[in-house]
């Protein structure tokens, strides 16, 4: 299996310039014709954050220190996760002619989609970092921890993105199901509430949710200026590698069938 992955990685690396071009093209298409363009990477999470903040802080009186910043630290990576997977799921169908040409490794299609969303996420995150630094100057010392966290997050999303893009070829309703699934998935992810606020008999739902560990890690670094707990780090490594291996293997084993179904 190691040789199989190594050969695929070498092939992808050979086409790295094509991957970069595809990624930038995807990002440009996302904001083509938009007046505000890339600023939507900042505006969208801010608007949703303020909406949730108003409802839970002012209406339901949820008491979380620095609540607006706490929500924002979770909303930004959530948008990266949900947007990347929704777009990756449709990537093979949208690019069917390119998929059948076989000019470059076909996995570059969902990978470029995820990387375009990564760039979008990084632009939004960098623009909003000064707010978190202003909130807690100690977060300057912990910002370096964002690099491995983002790397693990990216690997996790790449694995799911490749997997979902394949599944959507076999079951065309999958992308519609995914759009619906993200709604309850959002609510059971501790973005605007902390895990200790959830009743003990229901905490297993959040703990079984892989995004809980990613979101809580972003909030720990950006809000508390602390490294995630060792257990959380181990879970992130397991989730990231597990997702990537499963997604890539599924693609490799079904690549020939995908061409017939596309």
Residues of the chain with pLDDT under 70: 36, 58-62, 261-262
- Per-chain mean pLDDT for the chain: 89
Answer yes or no: are the C-beta atoms of 111 and 162 closer than 8 Å: yes
Give the count of beta carbons closer than 10 Å to the beta carbon of residue 261: 13
DSSP state of 227: P
- What is the count of structural domains for the chain? 1
State how far the Cα of 182 lies from the Cα of 112, in Å rounded to an integer: 22
Q: Please, what is the angle between helix 67-89 and helix 40-53, to 10°?
A: 130
Read off the tokens for 25.
């093209």
Task: List the domain range (segments joined by +) for residue 164.
Answer: 2-261
The predicted-structure confidence for 103-138, as pLDDT tens digits, reads as follows: 788 899 999 999 999 999 999 999 888 888 888 888
pTM above 0.85, yes or no: yes
Based on its alpha-carbon atoms, the radius of gyration of the chain, rounded to whole angstroms, reads: 19
What confidence score (pLDDT) does residue 59 get? Answer: 65
């Amino acid at each position: 299996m190691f040789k199989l992955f190594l050969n695929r990685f070498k092939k992808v690396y050979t086409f790295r310039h094509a991957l970069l071009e595809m990624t930038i093209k995807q990002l440009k298409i996302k904001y083509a014709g938009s007046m505000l363009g890339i600023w939507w990477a900042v505006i969208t999470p801010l608007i949703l954050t303020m909406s949730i903040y108003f409802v839970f802080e002012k209406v339901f009186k949820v008491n979380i220190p620095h609540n607006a910043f706490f929500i924002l630290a979770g909303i930004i990576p959530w948008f990266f996760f949900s947007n990347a997977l929704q777009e990756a799921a449709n990537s093979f169908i949208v690019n069917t002619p390119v998929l059948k040409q076989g000019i470059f490794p076909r996995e570059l299609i969902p990978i470029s989609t995820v990387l375009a969303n990564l760039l979008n996420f990084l632009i939004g995150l960098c623009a909003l970092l000064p707010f978190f630094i202003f909130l807690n100057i100690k977060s300057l010392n912990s910002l370096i921890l964002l690099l491995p966290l983002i790397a693990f997050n990216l690997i996790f999303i790449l694995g799911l993105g490749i997997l979902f893009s394949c599944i959507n070829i076999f079951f065309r309703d999958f992308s519609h199901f995914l759009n619906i699934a993200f709604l309850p998935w959002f609510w059971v992810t501790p973005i605007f509430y902390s895990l200790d606020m959830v009743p003990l008999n229901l905490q297993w739902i959040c703990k079984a949710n892989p995004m809980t560990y990613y979101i809580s890690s972003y909030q720990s670094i950006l809000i508390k200026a602390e490294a995630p707990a060792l257990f959380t780090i181990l879970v992130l490594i397991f989730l990231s590698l597990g997702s990537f291996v499963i997604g890539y293997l599924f693609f490799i084993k079904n690549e020939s069938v995908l061409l017939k179904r596309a």
